[in-house]
Amino acid sequence: MLQRIAAGRFATERDAWKNASPSAKDFVCKLLTVEARRRPDADQALQHPWISKRDSVARSYVSKDIVDALCSFSEASAFRRACLLVMAISLSNEERAEVHKAFLEIDKDHSGTITLSELRSVLEEKFHIEDAAVA
């Protein structure tokens, strides 16, 4: 495998690549360019759209799982909400701090509640989910 990479021969159609976006594949292919003068340097690599897009998401405390959980919570019955609140009490201090940071990041107006428009804004900005996809 190393010999193929050294010669610039590798495939991005294998199972390991099936979930990689075209932008991710482009990034890796550019970094594996054999000819050094055609290969991007570190600064150029950091400017690649796949990295610059990921960088803004990586700095966020809001994960897709948190957004999904908020959507699910908003649709839950009163009993289910009560059960989830009891479960939240059992979170460790570290877990509570993570949730608190994510909440503050979503609650743009610092009202103590997350409005639908704030949730939509996070989905669009961080996860590139269009407004129409948000119920």
9 and 27, same domain (yes or no):
yes
52 and 68, same domain (yes or no):
no
Spatial separation of the C-alpha atoms in residues 51 and 111, rounded to whole Å: 33
- The gap from C-alpha 25 to its chain's centroid, in whole angstroms, comes to 17
- The domain of 43 spans 2-58
If one counts the domains in the chain, the total is 2
127 and 71, same domain (yes or no):
yes
80 and 107, same domain (yes or no):
yes
> For the residues 113-131, what does the mean pLDDT come to?
80
52 and 99, same domain (yes or no):
no
71 and 52, same domain (yes or no):
no
Write down which residue in 11, 28, 58 finishes a domain. 58
50 and 68, same domain (yes or no):
no
Report residue 134's pLDDT band, with 50, 70 and 90 as the boundaries.
low
Name every residue whose Cβ is closer than 8 Å to that of residue 18 and which is 6 or more positions away in sequence. none
- Outline where 21-109 has alpha helix (H): 22-31, 42-46, 49-58, 64-75, 78-89, 93-106
Of the two residues 2 and 93, the one the predictor is more confident about is 93
70 and 120, same domain (yes or no):
yes
**Is a pLDDT exceeding 60 seen at residue 135?**
no
Summarize pLDDT for 60-103 with one digit per residue, the tens.
667 778 878 888 887 889 898 888 888 888 888 888 888 888 88
The pTM of the full predicted model, rounded to 2 decimals, is 0.45
**Is a pLDDT exceeding 80 seen at residue 8?**
no
36 and 54, same domain (yes or no):
yes
